[in-house]
Amino acid sequence: MRTEQTHFWFCARRSMVLELIRRFCPKPVETLADIGCGSGYNLTHLQTYGEHLVGIDRLVLLSPQMKTLAPDTQLIAGDVQELPLGNKSVDMMTSLDVLEHVDDHKMLRELSRTLKSNSILIITVPAQPWLWSNRDIQAGHKRRYTKTTLTQILEQAGFTIRYVNYYQFLLFPLVVISRFLWKKRQFQAYEENPGKITNHVLLKISMIENWLAKRGAKFPWGSSLVVVAQKC
């Protein structure tokens, strides 16, 4: 959980997602679910956007500190491909870097089943299949996406695309270099735990990118993709 609180990558992604929620779903919803919530830390930042928060992950119950950070959140241990939720029971969903770990068609059918009509889904995934490396294997990824492949499977599952963009565009050259260096153990440790100054600088660059995206910038590439989709 500490990594999610301080690491530039998690902080910038969270800031981007919150901005998209404010843009596409400005009023708080009744039920907001984070699918594949991991430690559940992101739910602490979602409390003002949903009256009832639900976090689902196979290992979510291993994070008891969440009961202190978000006491009203319902944490459920469950499979994202077989959600323990009723049909059309959720008003908004987030699922951040989860889809690439599972059968994406099966998971998206479940998200579609449990979302109410016209509800918003925000998804992030790793992009650029040619970036595939040992980093993906160690992370348990099954694939990386292009803008076309991601939007197609969302549309097949019954979603309309409201917004799609690459992110981590400004830092993309560093990502490419890092994939060639990933086999070196020292570099792996540094990427996962950058020094305080490095982390601060990379966060500032990422936040500049978020600022540009907020003002309508469309990036031609990036190491990740974000999509806002609406249940038809």
The span from the CA of 26 to the CA of 49, in Å, is 8
Q: Can you give the pLDDT at residue 1? A: 66
Cα 30 from chain centroid (whole Å): 21
The span from the CA of 210 to the CA of 208, in Å, is 5
C-beta of residue 53 within 8 angstroms of C-beta of residue 30? no
The 3-state secondary structure of 128-172 reads CHHHCCHHHHHHCCCCCECHHHHHHHHHHCCEEEEEEEEECCCCH
Per-residue pLDDT reduced to its tens digit, 130-154: 999 888 998 899 999 999 999 999 9
**Residue where the block lists tokens 């076309």:** 148
C-beta of residue 228 within 8 angstroms of C-beta of residue 128? no
Predicted model pTM: 0.92
Which residues neighbour 72 within 8 Å (Cβ) at sequence distance 6 or greater?
A: 47, 52, 53
Cα 57 from chain centroid (whole Å): 13
Q: Can you give the pLDDT at residue 214? A: 96
Q: For residue 170, give both structure tokens.
A: 């400004």
Judge whether residue 27 has pLDDT over 90. yes
Confidence of residue 70 (pLDDT cuts 50, 70, 90): low
Judge whether residue 208 has pLDDT over 70. yes
Q: Can you give the pLDDT at residue 184? A: 53
Q: Can you give the pLDDT at residue 188? A: 60
Q: How far is CA 224 from CA 77, 102, 134, 185, in A?
A: 27, 17, 17, 23
